[in-house]
Every structure is written in structure tokens, then in C-alpha cells.
Chains A and B, each alone.
Chain A
Amino acid sequence: MPQSRARAGIPFRYRIALVWAAIFACIIAFLSLIRLDLGFIGEWWAFIVYGAGNPDAWTVGIVATLYISLASILLAILLAFLGALGRLSKNPLAYGLATFYVSLVRGTPLLIQIFILFFGLPQINQQLNRLFPGFEQQFPFISSLLVLPALPTGILALGINYGAYMTEVFRAGIQSVGRGQVEAATALGMTPGQTMWRIVLPQAVRVVIPPIGNDFIAMTKDSALVSVIGVQELLWRSQKVGVQNFRSMETLLIAAAFYWIMTIVLQTVQSQIEKRLARSDR
């Protein structure tokens, strides 16, 4: 009797820790059964994750992953803001553009969008050159925008994709600010633009920061997709090293582990931010 009471007394969190430990033990058993080469992992993980030993390659691996995610989320925020303004607009052109953007982008796979941007844009450049001979020489800037390297193409694709999803979040955030706020600002003589910037957006931001954080975390994982066009981020490097050495399982596990660590760290940061927002909530 006292024994079972003692067992009932084990706090819930310790029981959870036990379950996790058991799962890890199973995984280790599985990995030793498939004869995972730990020596190989120890030798290569630093090279895969941050290009250790290659002084020219500091923007690869996990740095590239974070860099792509950050640049993409900034682009997505900009597009989502414009999209939300369009969704809330009474102008048929703005409303139509915004709804078309959201519908098309949310209705097609991200992977196809990445491919279309990567292979489609250079084709436009080709045709412009055919139609207007000397186009490339006359407008080198526009031409270079159409033949983007893999990294900016990946950022563009991820930003456009997430911007469409975040448009609805921004729209809801803006709409969560009451009509009375707009009326008060209007009665003071503020223009619609001033009302948006000074009164509506600062209040909407509080509503949209938590979902933006979630999207950023999801973005760090979806950024793995741009490996298909040859961006040297975490997954691409792990694949390259793995295939060359017939050790794909080892390198994929390295990549997976680091994605996991990244999301755990980002989730911690996210919950800290949310706590602070909640504290200053008025």
C-alpha cells in the first residue's frame, strides 16, 4: 500500500520524462540495429550544419536556413499587409487582386511555386530577348531580376507563399480593432492613412505577433524545400554529404536534429514574447 501510494506520488512531469526516455531508448536501439555510423556523424556534422573548415562558406547550412526564413518572413509580412489592405478595400481592383493572390497561392503546392519561379522567370527573360533583341543589354537590371540565383528565388517563393496565408491573419488583426477607434481618430481630423498607421496598426500588431511567430517557426522547416533548387541550406548539405558517402541516414538525422533544436529554441523565444505581450496587455 505505501509503495503504490509512493508511485502515485510521482509528479506528472517526471512520468512524462520517463516516457520520453523510453522513446529515446527505442530510437537508439533502432539506430544501432541499422548500424548507424556515429563516427561518421561526429566527423561530418559541423561541416553540414555550418560549413566548418570552409572559410568561404559561412552562409550555408543552418545560417542559410535562418537567413532564408528571416528574409522570407519579412517579405511575407509586407505582402500580407498589402493583401489585408486589399481584402478590406472597397476598391474592386485592390480587392480582386488580393483575393486572387490568396486563392491562387494557397491553392497550389509550395514546391510547384518554387519550381515555377526558378524555371519560369528565366523563360520570360528569354522571350523578352526574342521579342526585343538587345533587351538584356539595354535593361540589365530587369533582366537580372528575371534570372535570379537560387537563394533569392527561394526567399521570393517562400515569402509569396507565406504572405498569402498571413494575409488572412493580418485582415483579422486589423478587423479586431473596433470601429470606435477609427471613428475617434476620424473625428479628431486624422486621415485614413494616419488612422491606419497611428491607431489601427499598433493595436493590430499585438494580435498578429503570436501567429507571425508560429509562421516563422513553420518557415524554418518549410525552407528545407528550397534545397530542390540547389540552395545550400541544411537539408541540401546533409543530402549531398550523405549521398556521396552512402551515409544518408546519418546525415538526414543530423539535419532533422538541428531543425528540431531550432524549433525548440524558437518556440521558447516565442512563448517569452507572448508572455511579455500578455503582461503589458491593457
Chain B
Amino acid sequence: MDPIVRLTDLHKRFDALHVLKGVSLAVQPREVICLIGRSGSGKSTLLRSINFLEEPDAGAVEVDGIVVTPELDARVRRQRIRDIRLRTGMVFQDFNLFPHKSAIDNVIEGLLVVRRIPRPRAVQIGESFLRKVGLIDKRDEYPSRLSGGQKQRVAIARALAMEPKVMLFDEPTSALDPELIGEVVRVMEDLANDGMTMLVVTHEMSFARDAADRVIFMEDGVFVEEGPPEEIFTTPRDPRTQQFLQRYIRG
């Protein structure tokens, strides 16, 4: 099968800092990939390069057959970036819910504005996704009245409502109190079981172990080691991976 996401030799610099040093990756449809590594290893930058919240300096990003390279003509490039964003959903560490909109209005915002679906239909779709994340009873609450876990589940529903081909999760549980992590992880596991293609930057090793098809350990802007979770977590080959995972295996 053709990969749904293909990254080819991606480079990204922030001034003197070389954050991505030629990363390549092919993601198969329905695959769940967890990116692990220390903060500053480039895993978030890699994820954010896929929907162009960060613009790679060099290399190609391909999502669902749409290819974007830095060399493209500006207008063509902008259109293709938009097409890629319509095929990817993103979930952020800090939720980034729109505070001036209720849960349902957060979920349908993209449907109304980007997909231009009439409001009654959009509300139907939005409600079905709120139901999916178990928050239909919070339909009219504003984000300030939701717990962190609930906010993140609304944020997941908001991304899912756009019916993306790929979901990108940028440390979705890192801002949560420990007792709220479970409810978000459960929603993500359901999603993985439903066959969603997922790229997850995470420190939540239990999720990586249980739900990932492939785990990638990143350091200094490159992939150090990748493989199925049972392999990475039990018999990591690279000493850097071993050292990083020590805490999680023994702890």
C-alpha cells in the first residue's frame, strides 16, 4: 500500500539551531506511530512540519498524494499546504480550544468556516463527535468550565470532525494532571482501534507500548532507533535509547 504520509530528508533550522537534520519517514494508512525522545530532540518540530505550522527549510512533505517542497511556486505551494491541512487533524499540548466558543461551537468551527457546511448539518456532525469522546452532556459548556481532560477530548473531537486522513498529536497528555491522563488515552486508543492513522509525540510510554505499531526514538534531530514497541521497550539496541528508556523501564 502507498504510504499516506511520506517525509523525505526534512531539514529545519531555527537560526543557528539545526533542529531537524534530514529526517525521512513513511507512514502507512491505519498505522499508529509514537515519537519519543527528550524535549528539544526535534520530535514536535517534525510533527508540526507535516501540517506546516513549522515550515521545513529543505525536503519534501507528502500527505495523501499531495507533495510540498520549499522550491514550489508560492501560490501553488500555499494551495497545497491548505489541502494538506484539510487532510490532517492536530491536537495540541495546551488544547488551544477557542475560549469564546462553547464545546459544540469549537467542534463545528472548522466545518462552518473551512468546509462551509450549513449550521444545522454541522451541529449534527459535531454532536456525533462529542458523543464519540463522551462529552455530549458538556455540549454547551465553555472551555473554562471543563477539566483539562475534558478540554483535550473536545479538542480531539474538533480535529476529528474535519474527517482528517491523519491525526497529529503533539504531547496530548503532557499538560494534564496525572488522574486525567487516562480518559484522554482511552479516547486515543479507541481511535487507534478504529483504524485512524496517528502520529503521536508523547511521554506517555504506556500508550506507546499498548497502542503503537511503531515507536521512533529521536535525538538531536535524527531518528536514532525505530521498531515495534515490544522491541524498542524490551531490547533497545542503541545505547542512547537504552539510557532514555531506563527511567521508564525501571521507574
Contacts and interface: CB of A to CB of B under 8 A. Distances in A.
A189 B86 contact: yes
Given A180-B94, A198-B109, A282-B142, A187 B99 contact: no
Interface string B157-198: 011001000000000000000000000000000000000000
Nearest to A206: B100
Contacts of B92: 180, 183-184
A229 interface: no
B122 to A, nearest CB: 13
Interface residues of A, number: 19
Contacts of A178: 96
A187 B85 contact: yes
A188 B100 contact: no
A181 interface: yes
Contacts of A190: 110, 113-114
B165 to A, nearest CB: 13
A6 B109 CA distance: 63
Contacts of B100: 202-203, 206, 282
B53 interface: yes
Contacts of B237: none
A278 B155 CA distance: 26
Nearest to B84: A189
B51 A187 contact: yes
Contacts of A175: none
Contacts of A185: 98, 109
Contact of A181 (B98, B142, B144): B98
B114 A184 contact: no
A206 B114 CA distance: 25
Contact of B143 (A186, A194, A282): A282
Contacts of A180: 92, 94, 96
Q: Which of A189, A194, A198 has the largest count of B CB atoms less than 10 A from its CB?
A: A189
A188 B143 contact: no
A174 B114 CA distance: 22
Contacts of A105: none
Interface in A180-233: 180-181, 183-191, 194, 198-199, 202-203, 206
Given A184-B98, A188-B114, A189-B86, A282 B109 contact: no
Interface of B: 51, 53, 82, 85-86, 88-90, 92, 94, 96-100, 109-110, 113-114, 142-145, 155, 158-159, 162
Given A189-B82, A189-B114, 6 more contacts: A184-B96, A184-B155, A187-B53, A187-B159, A188-B109, A199-B98
